[in-house]
Amino acid sequence: MPAFSVTSQRPGAWTIQRPSSVALQGSIRVPGDKSISHRALMLGAIASGETKIQGLLLGEDPRSTAECFRALGAKISELNTEQVVVQGICLGQLREPLDVLNAGNSGTTLRLMLGILASHPERFFTITGDDSLRSRPMSRVVTPLQQMGAEIWGRQQNSLAPLAIQGQALKPIHYRSPVASAQVKSCVLLAGLMAHGQTTVTEPVLSRDHSERMLQAFGAEVAVDPDAHSATVTGPAQLQGQTVIVPGDISSAAFWLVAGAIVPGSDLQITNVGVNPTRTGILEVLERMGADVTQFNQRLVAGEPVADLRVRYGPLRACEIGADLIPRLIDEIPILAVAAVFAQGTTVIRDAAELRVKESDRIAAIATQLNRLGAKVSELPDGLEITGGTPLKGAEVDSYNDHRIAMSLAIAGLNATGSTEIDRAAAAAISYPDFATTLDQLLGS
Ligand code: S3P
């Protein structure tokens, strides 16, 4: 039986059979950064002239963004990793689409696009998403947009998609966001592009700053105050198309970093990974856990820090993760939970209630599914408590249709005895369509 097989008996499921010697060796690249891919497509669509995107993530989420902006009038060439060309239609010139826009599974598509749509006067838009997205909170972006003068309707006091938007000329605000969320920050800054004056967002903890960096590169006037956790855009702005080189996604690299750290004998290199400091919480935590991870070839590519990473197997110890670090590793918590299962001691993750409103309730998903494999994981209202050191035993588990849960369980299954069957694993295509192929390659099966 192969070490790893994507051709499970059930469609969309993965079977992981731990081979006797499973060391992960070699050098790999991970797909383009999801956050940067969305932003490159969006800014390209609302800039004047041509934007060229190299290294775009070909996952389902950026495909949703591209489809939405095509419906809004942007010309976007066929998506590929070599070069995607976007012919922008300029701010204020979006076309009123004839049908409902569909953001699929992608919160970033819906929330960021909402800022752009709400600020387009005299146009009416409707936007929806899949089952997961239609249950995720939108009031966090609807509220600041309404303060700017936006008109948005939806179920449950305008907080759930499908949403209907009557575009308006918006006024600038200073929004003090109760959540550290790059989606909220970016939505408000994008809405501020067409407002006359300064639109500022202040957040409790600094979230990823890809929007600020890329808006500056496209010519917008954006001032950041990292100490105050705030960013200001001055409108009306004019954006000019650019070349964007998308680095590898550290959130995808995280699966291999943890795999390399927990699978005996592993020695892996992951090249061309984005190491923007607002995203590197995973590296800090792995270091605290005693993992042997090194960064080299640090460089700046199109305004984003990039490096190559090396991870080698070694013993891990438990650690505590809370408030200030959470926004810098929010998407990596499921795979960090897997690392904690193989660490000595009890790892406690707090202040991460946001995980309950991601693509799935990730606190419930990772706790219940790792426990099915024999781990000792307890749910906290805002996090997880994981006692490491209990060997895992293969079982049937479920991804909850969440890409990051599917891939985290696959890495856990690598270190379990027997066979692990992951249902609905095909969800991985949201952010990492080639994950299974890369795992197969690494295992040499
Ligand atoms: C993202 C921001 C984060 C992250 C998501 C991508 C972005 O969400 O979890 O995967 O690209 O802005 P929040 O803004 O909800 O924290």
Beta bridge partners of 386: 347, 377
Does residue 352 have its Cβ closer than 6 Å to ligand 1?
A: no
**Which atom of ligand 1 has the smallest separation from the CA of 331?**
9
* Sequence-ordered list of residues with C-beta below 8 angstroms from that of 389, at least 6 positions apart, any chain: 342, 343, 344, 345
**Which atom of ligand 1 has the smallest separation from the CA of 140?**
15
Mean per-residue pLDDT pooled into runs of 10, the chain (445 residues): 56 84 90 98 98 98 98 98 96 96 98 98 98 98 98 98 98 98 98 98 98 98 97 98 98 98 96 98 98 98 96 98 96 98 98 98 98 98 98 97 98 94 97 94 77
pLDDT tens per residue across span 253-290:
999 999 999 999 999 999 999 999 999 999 999 999 99
Beta bridge partners of 202: 176, 230
Q: Report the C-alpha gap between 130 and 217 in whole angstroms.
A: 32
Does residue 211 have its Cβ closer than 6 Å to ligand 1?
A: no
Distance 181 CA to ligand 1 centre (A): 6
Does residue 183 have its Cβ closer than 6 Å to ligand 1?
A: yes
Indicate which residue's Cα is closest to atom 15 of ligand 1: 181
Minimal CA–CA distance to 388: which of 378, 399, 400? 378
pLDDT of residue 424: 96
Tokens of 356: 């309950």
Tokens of 168: 């308006």
Annotation says 331 is catalytic:
yes
Pocket test for ligand 1, best of 208, 210, 362 (most atoms within 8 A of CB): 208
Does residue 203 have its Cβ closer than 6 Å to ligand 1?
A: no
Residue of 61, 249, 308, 331 marked catalytic: 331
pLDDT of residue 8: 64
Distance 353 CA to ligand 1 centre (A): 14
pLDDT of residue 4: 55
Pocket test for ligand 1, best of 36, 179, 183 (most atoms within 8 A of CB): 183
Indicate which residue's Cα is closest to atom 4 of ligand 1: 331
Distance 208 CA to ligand 1 centre (A): 8
**Structural domains for the chain:** 4-32+248-443 (3.65.10.10), 34-245 (3.65.10.10)
pLDDT of residue 1: 40
Pocket test for ligand 1, best of 207, 329, 361 (most atoms within 8 A of CB): 207
pLDDT of residue 2: 46
Contact in structure between 278 and 328 (CB atoms under 8 Å): yes
pLDDT tens per residue across span 27-51:
999 999 999 999 999 999 999 999 9
Does residue 251 have its Cβ closer than 6 Å to ligand 1?
A: no
pLDDT of residue 11: 82
Side-chain half-sphere CA neighbours of 133 within 13 A: 20
Q: Which residue has the tokens 């927990």?
A: 262
Distance 186 CA to ligand 1 centre (A): 10
Does residue 35 have its Cβ closer than 6 Å to ligand 1?
A: yes
Does residue 182 have its Cβ closer than 6 Å to ligand 1?
A: yes
Q: Report the C-alpha gap between 375 and 370 in whole angstroms.
A: 5
**Which atom of ligand 1 has the smallest separation from the CA of 112?**
12
Compute CA distances 79 → 86, 180, 347, whole Å: 10, 31, 41
